[in-house]
């Protein structure tokens, strides 16, 4: 963790503190639209970095008084946009096209439209005028971490990308923005809107949110159906996942193998690819193709326009899974985890 790396260690451009030039943002006004997870973190970090910030919220937004309490200027999204040089869209992705339409008239030539996720730009749900820059600054973490890291004097690794460069300064400005929210203290990685969107969607569908929950549920069901207690199945298939993921997060897959027992390592090495086999790999390629050809995006946009019927039904089904009811009282036994969450050294070793 304390190793110092240079750009040469990576296959892509990575920028640190000195690579950014604050003058590209210092005299500009940034409108941060939305004050949720990302919005509050960007707005407060920018403000404390000396950037002029105006938060854009609906008049009935419950976040309005909070943003003011945090020392920020608040107005409606259209007024904020008209006033700003840079407009960062941090309202939910499904709402962004409507908000964009409502504020579009406030954009002037040379302004910048920014995003923390490229979905709407990449899939043409938002088309900015040709004379504005379109860029991205996407922290690789939820807003409360982006805020916490900044307050602690650090930063959260951040992606930047340029989709449209009308001014010729789009990248320098995006880098200066990333610096002002703390990103260059950790490392800023350059990507493209296409790469960010496609890898993000694939990752959350195939591995993170979709893949891992299905794996956990299948493991739980297999043990319970074989007559083992649901509590034991919960511990083995869900609770202990965190310990394994923490090890991989800290030291890679090799570091995880090193830390578990030889029995666990041999069993995992011989059985893992029987469970997640070539068929799973082929399914992953199919899922990736649906992301790349826009089929998933179309489906999700239509689903939203129809009022989310499948989404609601699938959510309900998932919430009714036995593993949810079993887990609730068990999680209360692990309250100690919360207080040690940010200090892995204090988490008792698995035995
Ligand atoms: P969020 O749901 O936490 O916050 C959304 C905010 O928008 C809220 O303050 C809400 O009140 C406000 N809002 C809702 N409708 C509005 C409207 N019509 N007009 C004005 N404001 C409105 O959203 P988030 O998770 O911070 O996501 C914002 C963006 O950041 C998205 O593009 C998301 O993909 C991206 N992102 C999120 C994370 C994350 O971990 N949360 C990480 C990286 C990128
Ligand atoms: Mg403007």
Distance from the CA of 351 to the center of ligand 1, in angstroms?
40
User: Which ligand 1 atom is at minimum distance from the Cα of 56?
Assistant: 20
Planar angle of CA 209, 214, 255, nearest 5 degrees: 70
Question: Would you tell me how many other CB atoms lie within 10 Å of the CB of residue 13?
Answer: 14
Residues flanking ligand 1, CB < 6 Å: 33-39, 57-58, 61, 63, 77, 90-93, 95, 99, 116-117, 138-139, 142-143
Catalytic residue (choose from 42, 117, 122, 321): 117
pLDDT digits (tens, 9 = 90+) for 57-99: 999 999 999 999 999 999 999 999 999 999 999 999 999 999 9
Distance from the CA of 31 to the center of ligand 2, in angstroms?
9
Rounded to the nearest 5°, which phi and psi values hold at 247?
-65, -45
Active site residue 122: no
Distance from the CA of 167 to the center of ligand 2, in angstroms?
14
In the predicted structure, residue 122 carries a pLDDT above the cut 50:
yes
Protein residues placing their CB within 5 Å of the ion ligand 2? 84, 106, 108, 111
pLDDT band of 347, cuts 50, 70, 90: very low
pLDDT for the residue numbered 3: 54
Q: Give the mean pLDDT of 41-61.
A: 98
User: Which of these ranges, 62-66, 89-93, 175-179, 340-344, has the smallest mean pLDDT?
Assistant: 340-344
Distance from the CA of 109 to the center of ligand 2, in angstroms?
8
In the predicted structure, residue 222 carries a pLDDT above the cut 50:
yes
pLDDT for the residue numbered 193: 98
Q: Which ligand is nearest to the CA of 100?
A: 1
pLDDT digits (tens, 9 = 90+) for 281-314: 999 999 999 999 999 999 999 999 999 999 999 9
């Amino acid at each position: 963790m304390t190793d110092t790396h240079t750009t040469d260690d990576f296959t892509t451009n990575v920028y640190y503190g000195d690579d950014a030039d604050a003058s590209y943002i210092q005299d500009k006004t940034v409108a941060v639209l939305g004050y949720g997870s990302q919005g509050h973190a960007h707005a407060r970090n920018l403000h404390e970095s000396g950037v002029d910030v105006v938060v854009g919220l609906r008049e009935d937004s419950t976040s309005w008084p909070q943003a003011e309490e945090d020392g920020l200027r608040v107005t409606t999204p259209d007024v904020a946009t008209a006033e700003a040089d840079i407009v960062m869209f941090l309202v939910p992705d499904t709402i962004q096209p409507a908000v964009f339409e409502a504020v579009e008239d406030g954009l002037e030539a040379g302004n910048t439209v920014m995003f923390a996720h490229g979905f709407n730009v990449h899939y043409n749900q938002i088309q900015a005028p040709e004379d504005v820059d379109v860029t991205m600054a996407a922290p690789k973490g939820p807003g409360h971490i982006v805020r916490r890291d900044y307050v602690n004097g650090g930063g959260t690794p951040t992606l930047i990308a340029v989709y449209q460069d009308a001014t010729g300064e789009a990248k320098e400005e995006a880098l200066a923005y990333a610096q002002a929210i703390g990103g260059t203290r950790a490392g800023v990685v350059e990507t493209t809107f296409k790469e960010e969107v496609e890898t993000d969607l694939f990752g959350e569908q195939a591995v993170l949110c979709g893949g891992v929950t299905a794996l956990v549920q299948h493991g739980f069901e297999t043990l319970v159906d074989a007559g083992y207690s649901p509590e034991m199945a919960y511990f083995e298939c869900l609770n202990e996942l965190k310990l394994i993921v923490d090890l991989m997060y800290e030291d890679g897959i090799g570091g995880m193998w090193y830390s578990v027992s030889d029995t666990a390592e041999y069993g995992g090495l011989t059985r893992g690819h029987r469970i997640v086999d070539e068929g799973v790999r082929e399914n992953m390629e199919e899922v990736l193709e649906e992301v790349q050809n826009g089929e998933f995006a179309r489906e999700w946009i239509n689903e939203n326009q129809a009022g989310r019927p499948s989404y609601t039904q699938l959510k309900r089904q998932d919430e009714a899974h036995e593993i949810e009811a079993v887990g609730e009282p068990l999680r209360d036994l692990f309250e100690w985890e919360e207080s040690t969450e940010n200090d892995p050294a204090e988490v008792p070793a698995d035995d």
